[in-house]
Amino acid sequence: MASSFAGYHPLRLLVVRSLKDNTYRKRPASQPHLKDSIRRHVLDIPADSLSLAAENMVLLLENIAEHELGHIEQF
C-alpha cells in the first residue's frame, strides 16, 4: 500500500507534524490566528534542535538502507 506522503522527505514530515501538533493544540479561532501561531512556532524551533533532528534522521535512513528495509516501521 502506497503512502500519501511517499514523495515527501521524512525530515520534512517530522517538522510538519510537530508544527501541526503545536499549532492546533490551542485551536486558533481564525486564519490570521492560525498563521500567527505557525509563525511563532517556526521561530521558536532552536537551530541546534533542527540540526540534531536532521543528523538523527540521516543516521536512521542510512541504517534502513544498509539493512534494505522498505519502511521505517520495520526498523
Give residue-wise pLDDT tens across range 52-75.
877 887 888 888 788 776 655 544
Residue 4 lies in a domain: no
- The answer to whether 23 and 33 have CB atoms below 8 angstroms apart is no
Judge whether 65 lies within some domain.
yes
Query: Is residue 22 in some structural domain?
Result: yes
3 pLDDT tier (thresholds 50, 70, 90): very low
For the chain, what is the domain count? 1
pLDDT at 69: 62
Structural domain including 33 reads 10-71
What's the whole-number average pLDDT of the chain?
Answer: 75
Whether residue 2 is contained in a domain is answered as no
Closest CA to 45 of 29, 21, 27, 64: 21
pLDDT (mean) for 31-50: 84
43-54 residue pLDDT tens: 888 888 778 877
Q: Is residue 47 part of a domain?
A: yes
